[in-house]
Amino acid sequence: MTLAIVVNSCVSFSPTTMPIFLDSMRLARIPLSNVYCILGESDVDSIDTSNEYTVIKTRFCNVDNTAAVYLTQTDHGRSILNAYTHIFYTHDTVRFLEGFWTTIQTYLPSCSSYRKLQESATKTTGLLHSQWFLREKSKVMKYLANTDIDKRYAYKSSIGIPNEADIRANCSHLPQWLNEDVIFDFKDDFGATGDWFVKNADVPTHFEDIYGTGTVRKAYVYNPPGIIKYQKNFVIVDNNWQMNL
């Protein structure tokens, strides 16, 4: 069994976040050749393999699900899924702990579909069986695929998605909100189903200015699998979603 780490990001955040999560990957002994950083909201599509890891820039603007759209809707994305039995999907606002790579390997044999980071409000993070994901989530990602940067916060908030009625009419096992949980399955009543690493109530937290911007962020420590997820800050100004690091 083989595992890729897919990091969802965007071109504007990546100069700040990439050095931090890449340093943590090195400390966690994650092979960087298995790492794919997918940066959305780009003016161009490109693939850079000049480093140990792969950096992909894409025009897709789906915030939490940009990498998921890329993986299922492009030839190169599908080739990544076909090259590994599993992927660990997460975001650039994460740090990997020292035991992550060893720990996550123990979950591969039992993961025939997915294991969410937590039972709900999953932060679009978890272990995915590549062929399950390709088979079960390509359809919804085709509906969600967006390249209009002015609509990105509709896809972040799940408020005002233009074709939501079509999505719900044609896709199954959807969460109540079509944002951070949509890469996983949910019951018809939106209840959680499938496996998860940690119950929501069992996640220790602390506060940290991880990016040196003077803004303290809430850090969620998930062990297993061995990551720290930093909460991004979202505010609404003049009825528009704004996001900062």
Rounded Cα gap, residues 225 and 238, in angstroms: 39
Name residue, tokens 């009825």. 239
CA–CA distance from 65 to each of 153, 218, 239 (Å)? 12, 22, 23
Kindly calculate the radius of gyration of the chain based on its CA atoms and give it in whole angstroms: 17
Mean pLDDT of 173-182: 94
pLDDT at res. 216 = 83
Percent of the chain surpassing pLDDT 70: 94
pLDDT at res. 80 = 98
Nearest partner of 163 among 178, 185, 184, 182, judged by Cα = 178
Name residue, tokens 């993986």. 71
Mean pLDDT of 15-23: 96
Asked, as a colleague might, if the bond just before 225 is cis with ω within 30 of 0, I would say: yes
pLDDT at res. 205 = 93
Pick the range with the lowest mean pLDDT from 40-44, 92-96, 138-142, 231-235.
Answer: 231-235
* pLDDT-derived band at 132, boundaries 50, 70, 90: very high
pLDDT at res. 237 = 61
First-to-final CA distance of the chain? 36
Answer yes or no: is pLDDT of 113 > 80.
Answer: yes
Residues 6+ apart with CB under 8 A from 85: 1, 2, 3, 108, 129, 130, 131
The b-or-e profile of 14-31 (16+ CB within 10 A means b, else e) is bebbbebbbebbeebebe
Rounded Cα gap, residues 206 and 204, in angstroms: 7
* pLDDT-derived band at 234, boundaries 50, 70, 90: low
pLDDT at res. 232 = 65
* pLDDT-derived band at 187, boundaries 50, 70, 90: very high
Rounded Cα gap, residues 115 and 96, in angstroms: 17
Nearest partner of 14 among 40, 32, 49, judged by Cα = 40
Mean pLDDT of 165-191: 95
pTM of the model: 0.95
pLDDT at res. 201 = 78
CATH topology of domain 3-193+200-244: Spore Coat Polysaccharide Biosynthesis Protein SpsA; Chain A (3.90.550)
User: How much is the mean pLDDT over the chain?
Assistant: 93
Pick the range with the lowest mean pLDDT from 100-109, 116-125, 215-224, 234-243.
Answer: 234-243
pLDDT at res. 189 = 92
Name residue, tokens 């909201």. 41
